[in-house]
Amino acid sequence: MSIPPENQKIAYREFGSGSQPQATERATPELAPQKQNIRIQASRSGRKGKTVTVISGFQCSPSTLTELLKQLKTHCGSGGTIKDNTLEIQGDQRQKLLALLLQLGYQAKISGG
């Protein structure tokens, strides 16, 4: 004897299991470039002495970040990656990235020493 799906009641379900993956995803607000405060800094910590330019403060979707990363890497002629909603570009590229981000309409500043 089977119960029709419309009459079934769920007694227990673990969080995250089920057919609703959008319920567990965190929503990221998509702000215009003019409203985002972007920080650019060079960092060497935890990278065996290699300098990396870290760009943080983005409030946009992962697909937008991926497109922006590709554009920045092409402009600088170097590699890079996305980690925890921040962009990392190889080398000390602060001035080049600042000029390009300002040209794209972002409110960007160089921070740190």
Q: What is the mean pLDDT of residues 94-101?
A: 95
pTM: 0.73
Enumerate residues 6+ apart whose C-beta is below 8 A from 63.
none
Helix or strand holding residue 43 (H, E): strand 37-43
CATH code (residue 100): 3.30.780.10
| Rounded distance between C-alpha atoms, residue 109 and residue 99, angstroms | 10
pLDDT for residue 1: 61
Q: What range defines the domain where residue 70 resides?
A: 29-110
pLDDT for residue 32: 83
Domain count, the chain: 1
22, part of any domain: no
DSSP-derived 3-state class of residue 22: helix
Residue 86, beta-bridge partner list: 83
65, part of any domain: yes
Confidence of residue 9 (pLDDT cuts 50, 70, 90): confident
